Amino acid sequence: MNPYIETLNRNKATKAFIELENYASVHQVPIIQYESLMMLQMLIRTKRVKTILEIGTAIAYSALQMATLSEEITIDTLERDEKMVALATKNIQQFGKQTQIHLHFVDALEIELDELQPQYDLIFIDAAKAQYQKFFERFVPLLAPGGIVVTDNILFHGCVEQSLSDGLNLSKNVQHLAKKIDQYNHFLNTLPEMETYYFDIGDGLAITMRK
Ligand SMILES: C[S@@+](CC[C@H](N)C(=O)[O-])C[C@H]1O[C@@H](n2cnc3c(N)ncnc32)[C@H](O)[C@@H]1O
Protein backbone atom coordinates (compact mmCIF):
# COMPACT_ATOMS: atom_id res chain seq x y z
CA MET A 1 0.00 0.00 0.00
CA ASN A 2 1.16 3.55 -0.65
CA PRO A 3 2.81 4.62 2.66
CA TYR A 4 0.97 7.95 2.74
CA ILE A 5 -2.43 6.25 2.25
CA GLU A 6 -1.45 3.63 4.79
CA THR A 7 -0.68 6.29 7.40
CA LEU A 8 -4.08 7.89 6.82
CA ASN A 9 -5.92 4.57 7.05
CA ARG A 10 -3.91 3.32 10.01
CA ASN A 11 -5.20 6.22 12.13
CA LYS A 12 -8.27 4.05 12.65
CA ALA A 13 -6.28 1.07 13.97
CA THR A 14 -6.85 0.42 17.67
CA LYS A 15 -4.41 -1.15 20.15
CA ALA A 16 -6.47 -4.36 20.45
CA PHE A 17 -6.42 -4.91 16.67
CA ILE A 18 -2.73 -4.02 16.41
CA GLU A 19 -2.06 -6.77 18.99
CA LEU A 20 -3.99 -9.27 16.83
CA GLU A 21 -2.02 -8.17 13.76
CA ASN A 22 1.25 -8.61 15.66
CA TYR A 23 0.20 -12.07 16.82
CA ALA A 24 -0.63 -13.03 13.23
CA SER A 25 2.67 -11.69 11.97
CA VAL A 26 4.80 -13.43 14.66
CA HIS A 27 2.95 -16.75 14.30
CA GLN A 28 2.60 -16.55 10.52
CA VAL A 29 -1.18 -16.69 10.53
CA PRO A 30 -2.42 -15.25 7.23
CA ILE A 31 -4.99 -12.49 7.79
CA ILE A 32 -6.58 -9.98 5.43
CA GLN A 33 -4.29 -7.16 4.36
CA TYR A 34 -5.21 -3.73 5.65
CA GLU A 35 -6.04 -2.22 2.26
CA SER A 36 -8.44 -5.08 1.48
CA LEU A 37 -9.97 -4.70 4.92
CA MET A 38 -10.65 -1.02 4.18
CA MET A 39 -12.50 -2.01 0.99
CA LEU A 40 -14.46 -4.72 2.82
CA GLN A 41 -15.47 -2.32 5.59
CA MET A 42 -16.47 0.34 3.07
CA LEU A 43 -18.70 -2.18 1.24
CA ILE A 44 -20.30 -3.24 4.53
CA ARG A 45 -21.08 0.37 5.38
CA THR A 46 -22.29 1.51 1.97
CA LYS A 47 -24.42 -1.61 1.38
CA ARG A 48 -25.66 -1.51 5.00
CA VAL A 49 -24.71 -5.16 5.38
CA LYS A 50 -26.22 -6.86 8.43
CA THR A 51 -25.62 -10.58 7.88
CA ILE A 52 -22.24 -12.03 6.92
CA LEU A 53 -20.99 -15.52 6.15
CA GLU A 54 -17.22 -15.87 6.37
CA ILE A 55 -15.35 -18.92 5.06
CA GLY A 56 -12.02 -19.08 6.94
CA THR A 57 -11.86 -17.54 10.42
CA ALA A 58 -8.21 -18.08 11.51
CA ILE A 59 -7.82 -15.97 14.68
CA ALA A 60 -11.08 -14.04 13.97
CA TYR A 61 -9.23 -10.85 12.97
CA SER A 62 -11.43 -10.08 9.94
CA ALA A 63 -14.61 -11.25 11.71
CA LEU A 64 -13.88 -8.88 14.62
CA GLN A 65 -13.03 -6.04 12.26
CA MET A 66 -16.38 -6.52 10.49
CA ALA A 67 -18.36 -6.97 13.72
CA THR A 68 -17.04 -3.75 15.27
CA LEU A 69 -18.60 -1.66 12.49
CA SER A 70 -22.11 -2.03 13.93
CA GLU A 71 -23.80 -3.97 16.70
CA GLU A 72 -26.53 -4.88 14.20
CA ILE A 73 -24.08 -7.02 12.21
CA THR A 74 -24.09 -10.78 12.80
CA ILE A 75 -21.48 -13.12 11.38
CA ASP A 76 -21.36 -16.86 10.86
CA THR A 77 -17.71 -17.78 10.41
CA LEU A 78 -16.43 -21.26 9.48
CA GLU A 79 -13.07 -22.71 10.53
CA ARG A 80 -11.80 -26.30 10.33
CA ASP A 81 -8.51 -25.96 12.25
CA GLU A 82 -8.91 -26.77 15.94
CA LYS A 83 -6.03 -24.57 17.07
CA MET A 84 -7.43 -21.59 15.16
CA VAL A 85 -10.88 -22.21 16.62
CA ALA A 86 -9.41 -22.06 20.14
CA LEU A 87 -7.58 -18.79 19.39
CA ALA A 88 -10.61 -17.29 17.64
CA THR A 89 -12.90 -18.23 20.53
CA LYS A 90 -10.57 -16.51 22.99
CA ASN A 91 -10.31 -13.38 20.84
CA ILE A 92 -14.07 -13.16 20.25
CA GLN A 93 -14.60 -13.36 24.02
CA GLN A 94 -11.92 -10.76 24.71
CA PHE A 95 -13.62 -8.35 22.34
CA GLY A 96 -17.03 -9.21 23.89
CA LYS A 97 -18.46 -10.14 20.48
CA GLN A 98 -19.97 -13.57 21.28
CA THR A 99 -23.51 -12.46 20.48
CA GLN A 100 -22.51 -11.07 17.08
CA ILE A 101 -19.98 -13.68 15.89
CA HIS A 102 -20.99 -17.33 15.66
CA LEU A 103 -17.94 -19.50 15.14
CA HIS A 104 -18.50 -22.95 13.60
CA PHE A 105 -15.75 -25.54 14.04
CA VAL A 106 -16.35 -27.29 10.74
CA ASP A 107 -15.06 -27.91 7.24
CA ALA A 108 -16.93 -25.41 5.07
CA LEU A 109 -17.47 -28.07 2.43
CA GLU A 110 -19.22 -30.31 4.96
CA ILE A 111 -21.45 -28.01 7.02
CA GLU A 112 -25.17 -28.62 6.62
CA LEU A 113 -26.65 -25.48 5.07
CA ASP A 114 -29.59 -25.58 7.49
CA GLU A 115 -27.11 -24.80 10.31
CA LEU A 116 -26.66 -21.39 8.67
CA GLN A 117 -28.94 -18.41 8.03
CA PRO A 118 -31.21 -18.74 4.98
CA GLN A 119 -29.67 -15.57 3.50
CA TYR A 120 -26.58 -13.37 3.86
CA ASP A 121 -25.94 -9.82 2.67
CA LEU A 122 -22.23 -10.58 2.29
CA ILE A 123 -20.23 -13.76 1.82
CA PHE A 124 -16.48 -13.43 2.43
CA ILE A 125 -14.39 -16.25 0.93
CA ASP A 126 -10.97 -16.49 2.58
CA ALA A 127 -10.15 -20.19 3.12
CA ALA A 128 -8.29 -22.92 1.15
CA LYS A 129 -7.40 -21.33 -2.19
CA ALA A 130 -7.78 -24.52 -4.23
CA GLN A 131 -11.41 -24.80 -3.12
CA TYR A 132 -12.59 -21.27 -3.99
CA GLN A 133 -14.96 -22.35 -6.75
CA LYS A 134 -16.46 -25.07 -4.55
CA PHE A 135 -17.02 -22.56 -1.74
CA PHE A 136 -18.63 -20.13 -4.15
CA GLU A 137 -20.95 -22.72 -5.70
CA ARG A 138 -21.90 -24.15 -2.31
CA PHE A 139 -22.74 -20.87 -0.60
CA VAL A 140 -23.96 -18.55 -3.38
CA PRO A 141 -27.53 -19.93 -3.04
CA LEU A 142 -27.49 -18.24 0.40
CA LEU A 143 -26.72 -14.82 -1.09
CA ALA A 144 -29.53 -12.30 -0.50
CA PRO A 145 -30.87 -10.34 -3.49
CA GLY A 146 -28.50 -7.40 -3.80
CA GLY A 147 -25.88 -9.29 -1.78
CA ILE A 148 -22.16 -9.40 -2.52
CA VAL A 149 -19.44 -12.04 -2.49
CA VAL A 150 -15.93 -10.85 -1.64
CA THR A 151 -13.01 -13.16 -2.43
CA ASP A 152 -9.55 -12.45 -1.02
CA ASN A 153 -6.09 -13.46 -2.33
CA ILE A 154 -7.03 -13.64 -6.01
CA LEU A 155 -3.43 -12.72 -6.90
CA PHE A 156 -1.89 -15.19 -4.43
CA HIS A 157 1.21 -13.04 -3.83
CA GLY A 158 1.85 -12.61 -7.57
CA CYS A 159 1.99 -16.37 -8.13
CA VAL A 160 -1.11 -16.44 -10.34
CA GLU A 161 0.53 -14.18 -12.92
CA GLN A 162 3.88 -15.98 -12.59
CA SER A 163 2.24 -19.35 -13.22
CA LEU A 164 0.78 -17.94 -16.44
CA SER A 165 4.21 -16.90 -17.72
CA ASP A 166 6.93 -19.49 -17.08
CA GLY A 167 6.24 -20.24 -13.41
CA LEU A 168 9.68 -21.80 -13.27
CA ASN A 169 10.58 -20.62 -9.80
CA LEU A 170 7.31 -21.84 -8.28
CA SER A 171 6.96 -25.19 -6.58
CA LYS A 172 4.56 -27.70 -8.16
CA ASN A 173 2.17 -27.18 -5.26
CA VAL A 174 2.15 -23.38 -5.62
CA GLN A 175 1.75 -23.69 -9.41
CA HIS A 176 -1.25 -25.93 -8.87
CA LEU A 177 -2.85 -23.49 -6.40
CA ALA A 178 -2.13 -20.53 -8.67
CA LYS A 179 -3.78 -22.31 -11.63
CA LYS A 180 -6.85 -23.09 -9.51
CA ILE A 181 -7.15 -19.43 -8.48
CA ASP A 182 -6.76 -18.33 -12.10
CA GLN A 183 -9.54 -20.75 -13.11
CA TYR A 184 -11.72 -19.38 -10.31
CA ASN A 185 -11.11 -15.77 -11.38
CA HIS A 186 -12.21 -16.63 -14.92
CA PHE A 187 -15.12 -18.72 -13.66
CA LEU A 188 -16.46 -15.61 -11.85
CA ASN A 189 -16.31 -13.76 -15.18
CA THR A 190 -18.51 -16.35 -16.92
CA LEU A 191 -21.48 -16.25 -14.53
CA PRO A 192 -24.38 -14.86 -16.56
CA GLU A 193 -26.30 -13.41 -13.61
CA MET A 194 -23.31 -11.98 -11.75
CA GLU A 195 -20.87 -9.15 -12.32
CA THR A 196 -17.36 -9.36 -10.85
CA TYR A 197 -14.99 -6.45 -10.24
CA TYR A 198 -11.31 -7.30 -9.70
CA PHE A 199 -9.03 -5.09 -7.62
CA ASP A 200 -5.26 -4.97 -7.36
CA ILE A 201 -5.29 -4.11 -3.67
CA GLY A 202 -3.85 -6.11 -0.80
CA ASP A 203 -3.38 -9.62 -2.21
CA GLY A 204 -6.06 -9.04 -4.84
CA LEU A 205 -9.79 -8.79 -4.19
CA ALA A 206 -12.76 -9.89 -6.31
CA ILE A 207 -16.16 -8.36 -5.61
CA THR A 208 -19.08 -10.20 -7.15
CA MET A 209 -22.69 -9.09 -7.20
CA ARG A 210 -25.90 -10.01 -8.96
CA LYS A 211 -26.59 -8.00 -12.13
C1 LIG B 1 -6.46 -16.77 5.33
S2 LIG B 1 -7.00 -17.57 6.77
C3 LIG B 1 -8.42 -16.64 7.24
C4 LIG B 1 -8.07 -15.27 7.66
C5 LIG B 1 -9.22 -14.45 8.24
N6 LIG B 1 -10.34 -14.41 7.33
C7 LIG B 1 -8.74 -13.04 8.50
O8 LIG B 1 -8.58 -12.28 7.51
O9 LIG B 1 -8.51 -12.69 9.65
C10 LIG B 1 -7.73 -19.03 6.14
C11 LIG B 1 -8.33 -19.96 7.19
O12 LIG B 1 -9.23 -20.83 6.52
C13 LIG B 1 -9.21 -22.08 7.16
N14 LIG B 1 -9.74 -23.05 6.19
C15 LIG B 1 -9.14 -23.50 5.06
N16 LIG B 1 -9.96 -24.35 4.41
C17 LIG B 1 -11.09 -24.44 5.14
C18 LIG B 1 -12.30 -25.17 4.99
N19 LIG B 1 -12.50 -25.99 3.96
N20 LIG B 1 -13.26 -25.02 5.93
C21 LIG B 1 -13.07 -24.20 7.00
N22 LIG B 1 -11.94 -23.49 7.20
C23 LIG B 1 -10.96 -23.61 6.28
C24 LIG B 1 -7.74 -22.28 7.52
O25 LIG B 1 -7.62 -23.21 8.57
C26 LIG B 1 -7.32 -20.87 7.90
O27 LIG B 1 -7.38 -20.66 9.29
pLDDT at 180 over 80: yes
Any atom of ligand 1 within 6 Å of the Cβ of 58? yes
- Name the residue of 64, 126, 134, 205 to mutate for ligand 1: max ligand atoms within 8 A of Cβ: 126
pLDDT at 169 over 90: no
Share of residues in the chain with pLDDT > 90 (%): 84
Count of the separate structural domains present in the chain: 1
pLDDT tens per residue across span 3-29: 898 889 888 889 999 999 999 999 999
85 by Cβ neighbours in 10 Å (0-12 / 13-18 / 19+) ranks as: buried
Across the range 44-57, mean pLDDT stands at 98
Distance (angstroms) between ligand 1 centre and the Cα of 157 equals 17
* pLDDT of amino acid 12: 80
* pLDDT of amino acid 1: 79
Burial 140-175 (b: 16+ CB within 10 A, else e): bebbbeebbbbbbbbbbeebbebbeeebeebeeebe
pLDDT at 182 over 80: yes
Distance (angstroms) between ligand 1 centre and the Cα of 59 equals 9
Any atom of ligand 1 within 6 Å of the Cβ of 107? yes
Weakest mean pLDDT among 35-44, 95-104, 172-181, 194-203: 172-181
pLDDT at 168 over 80: no
Which residue's CA lies nearest to atom 13 of ligand 1?
56
The CA distance from 125 to 56, in Å, is 7
Q: What is the CA radius of gyration of the chain?
A: 17
Distance (angstroms) between ligand 1 centre and the Cα of 78 equals 8
Give the CATH number, domain containing residue 127: 3.40.50.150
* pLDDT of amino acid 163: 86
Backbone angles phi, psi at 129, to 5 degrees: -65, -35
Across the range 195-199, mean pLDDT stands at 98
pLDDT at 165 over 90: no
pLDDT band at 199 (very low <50, low <70, confident <90, very high): very high
Average pLDDT, the chain: 95
Q: What is the distance, to the nearest Å, from the Cα of residue 47 to the centroid of all Cα atoms in its chain?
A: 17
Which residue's CA lies nearest to atom 27 of ligand 1?
58
Instruction: State whether residue 197 is helix, strand or coil.
Output: strand
Helices (H), the chain: 3-10, 15-26, 34-46, 61-67, 82-94, 132-139, 159-164, 172-189
The CA distance from 80 to 199, in Å, is 28
Any atom of ligand 1 within 6 Å of the Cβ of 127? yes
The whole domain housing 105 covers 3-210
